[in-house]
C-alpha cells in the first residue's frame, strides 16, 4: 500500500479546524471507510498527492477539468486577466463574451446571468420560476442533486445521499412541504402529480441525465413527457446541466435529446476550474430579474473576470481541438476497455456512459433510478475503490458519483486503467 502518512497528518490537522476536515462532504471518503489524500498538484490526467503518489484521475475536480488539469490556455488566460485586475464589481467585457458564447452553444438560453456556483444557479432559477409564475410548489426527483439549496435538499443525491442525509437538518419543514419529490423514470407518478397539483407548481427541476446517484438515463419519451406536462400546466421546466452542460455535448443534454427547457442551470466546465455558475433561458422569464423585474438576485463576485477568462479559454480550446467529438472517441475507447474487462471476468455489472461521463455500478440488471442504485454492492465498491487507488487510479469515492474523462486521457492512461480495474475488480468481487 502506498505511503500516505503526510496526507494522514494533514487530515488530522484539518479536522481540528474544519468540520470533518473538509470543505465539502464528498471529499471526506467516508463512504469508502477511509481518509482522503491531500493533493499537491495536478496536471493533464494526473494528480500527485503530498506524499508523492501519482494517480490517474477520473474525478477531474468533479467535472470542470474537461481539458485535463491546469491546461496552459487556461493558466495563460487567467494570468493575462489578473494583470488587468482580479475583481471589479462593475461590468466587464468578459461577461458579454461569455453570455454570447453560452447563447450560441445552448439556443434555449436567450439571456443568462452569471453566478459563482451551481448551487447559486439552481437557487436563483427556482426563485425566478416562483416569481414568474406566482406559485410556490416545486417538483424534484429522488436522487437528483442541485447543490445545497434549502428547498432542494429533499431526497437529494451526491454527498447528501452518500452520507444518508438526503433530507438535511436545518431545512424548515414548511420549506420542504413546498417540494414535491418523486421517483425518476416513472411516468405514471409525474402524470398524477401534475393532474392533481399542476396549477400550483412553479417549477419542475431535474438533471436531465441524473449524475448524482451514479449516472442514470431517462427512458425513451420521459423527457418529452416532462416537457409536455410542464408546458400544459404553465410550469417552468428547469434543466440542471451543471454537470452535463458543455460536457456530454457542446450544448448539453438538450442538444443530445432535442428537448428544451425554459431555464437551464450551468456551471463547472464554463468556469475552467474557477468558481462559476450561470442560469439562463427564455428572455420573457429572465427579464423578471432585478433591475428589470421584481425578482432579486445579485453577487459581488458574479461575472468575475478571472473566472470568465478561464472558462472562455477552456471553451475556445475545446472548439479548436474538436473537443466534444474527441471526447466521444475517448469515452468509447474507455467503455470498450471496461466492457472487455467485465467480459474477461465473466461479470455483467451495469456500466453507463454518455460522452465523457461514466459510472460502473456494482450491480447487475437495470439501473433506472436511485432505488436501483441503492441495490448496489457497496462493500464491493469500497474494495474496488481502494484497490484501484493503491494501484494509481483515482475514481470518485462514492457509488453515487459519476466519473469524468478529459481530453488529456490518452491511450496509455486508458490501458493502465483497464489493467488496474481488472485487478481491482478481481479483488472486489472475490
Provide the binding-site residues for ligand HOZ, judged by CB under 6 A: 24, 26, 62, 145, 158-159, 212, 401
Give kind and range of the element (H or E) at residue 137: strand 137-141
* DSSP sequence for 236-303: EEEEE-TTTTTTTSTTHHHHHH----SEEEEEGGGGTTSS-EEEEE-HHHHTTBTTTSSB----TTTT
Report DSSP state, residue 55: E
- Least distance (Å) between residue 268 CB and ligand HOZ: 8
State how far the alpha carbon of 175 is from the alpha carbons of 152, 153, 158, 168, 179, in Å.
Answer: 9, 10, 21, 12, 7
Residues forming the active site: 145, 240, 268
Q: How far apart are CA 252 and CA 267, in angstroms?
A: 12
How far, in Å, are 39, 102, 300 from residue 306 at the CA level?
Answer: 23, 17, 14
CA-based nearest residue to 125, from 63, 207, 248: 207
Nearest-approach distance from CB 237 to ligand HOZ, in angstroms: 21
Q: What's the grid cell of residue 7?
A: 496526507
- Quote the radius of gyration of the chain (alpha carbons, Å): 21
CB of 153 to ligand HOZ, least distance (A): 12
Q: Which is nearer to ligand HOZ, 119 or 341 (CB)?
A: 119
C-alpha cell, 332: 468509447
Nearer to ligand HOZ, 159 or 166 (CB): 159
As beta bridge partners, residue 137 has 201
Task: In angstroms, give the least distance from the CB of 61 to ligand HOZ.
Answer: 9
Question: Least distance from C-beta 398 to ligand HOZ, angstroms?
Answer: 8
**The C-alpha cell that represents 262 in the structure block:** 425554459
Least Å distance, CB 411 to ligand HOZ, is 27
Nearer to ligand HOZ, 15 or 103 (CB): 15
Q: Which residues contact 379 (CB under 8 A, 6 or more apart)?
A: none
Amino acid at each position: 500500500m502506498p505511503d500516505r502518512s503526510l496526507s494522514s497528518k494533514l487530515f488530522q490537522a484539518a479536522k481540528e479546524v474544519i468540520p470533518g476536515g473538509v470543505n465539502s462532504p464528498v471529499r471526506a471518503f467516508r463512504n469508502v471507510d477511509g481518509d482522503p489524500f491531500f493533493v499537491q498538484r495536478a496536471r493533464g490526467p494526473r494528480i500527485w498527492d503530498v506524499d508523492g503518489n501519482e494517480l490517474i484521475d477520473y474525478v477531474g475536480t468533479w467535472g470542470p477539468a474537461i481539458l485535463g488539469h491546469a491546461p496552459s490556455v487556461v493558466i495563460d488566460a487567467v494570468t493575462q486577466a489578473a494583470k488587468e485586475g482580479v475583481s471589479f464589481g462593475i461590468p466587464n467585457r468578459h461577461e458579454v463574451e461569455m453570455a454570447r458564447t453560452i447563447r450560441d452553444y445552448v439556443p434555449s438560453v436567450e439571456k443568462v446571468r452569471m453566478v459563482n456556483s451551481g448551487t447559486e444557479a439552481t437557487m436563483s432559477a427556482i426563485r425566478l420560476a416562483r416569481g414568474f409564475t406566482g406559485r410556490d410548489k416545486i417538483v424534484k426527483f429522488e436522487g437528483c442533486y442541485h447543490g445545497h439549496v434549502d428547498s432542494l435538499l429533499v431526497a437529494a443525491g451526491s454527498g447528501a445521499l452518500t452520507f444518508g442525509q438526503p433530507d438535511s437538518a436545518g431545512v424548515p419543514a414548511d420549506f420542504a412541504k413546498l417540494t414535491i419529490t418523486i421517483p425518476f423514470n416513472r411516468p405514471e407518478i409525474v402524470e398524477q402529480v401534475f393532474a392533481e397539483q399542476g396549477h400550483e407548481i412553479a417549477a419542475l427541476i431535474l438533471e436531465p441525465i441524473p449524475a448524482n446517484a451514479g449516472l442514470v438515463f431517462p427512458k425513451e419519451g420521459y423527457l418529452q413527457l416532462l416537457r409536455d406536462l410542464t408546458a400544459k400546466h404553465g410550469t417552468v421546466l428547469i434543466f440542471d446541466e451543471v454537470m452535463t452542460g458543455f460536457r456530454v455535448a457542446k450544448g448539453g443534454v438538450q442538444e443530445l435529446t432535442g428537448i428544451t427547457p425554459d431555464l437551464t442551470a450551468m456551471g463547472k466546465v464554463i468556469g475552467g476550474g474557477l468558481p462559476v455558475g450561470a442560469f439562463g433561458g427564455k428572455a420573457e422569464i429572465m427579464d423578471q430579474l432585478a433591475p428589470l423585474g421584481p425578482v432579486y438576485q445579485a453577487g459581488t463576485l458574479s461575472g468575475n473576470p478571472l473566472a470568465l477568462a478561464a472558462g472562455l479559454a477552456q471553451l475556445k480550446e475545446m472548439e479548436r481541438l474538436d473537443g466534444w467529438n474527441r471526447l466521444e472517441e475517448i469515452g468509447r475507447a474507455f467503455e470498450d476497455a471496461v466492457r472487455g474487462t467485465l467480459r474477461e471476468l465473466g461479470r455483467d455489472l451495469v456500466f453507463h456512459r454518455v460522452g465523457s461521463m461514466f459510472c460502473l455500478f456494482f450491480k447487475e440488471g437495470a439501473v433506472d433510478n436511485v432505488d436501483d442504485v441503492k441495490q448496489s454492492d457497496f462493500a464491493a465498491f469500497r474494495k474496488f475503490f481502494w484497490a484501484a487507488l493503491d494501484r494509481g487510479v483515482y475514481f470518485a469515492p462514492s457509488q453515487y458519483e459519476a466519473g469524468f474523462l478529459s481530453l488529456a486521457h490518452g491511450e496509455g492512461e486508458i490501458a493502465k486503467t483497464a489493467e488496474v480495474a481488472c485487478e481491482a475488480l478481481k479483488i472486489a468481487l472475490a
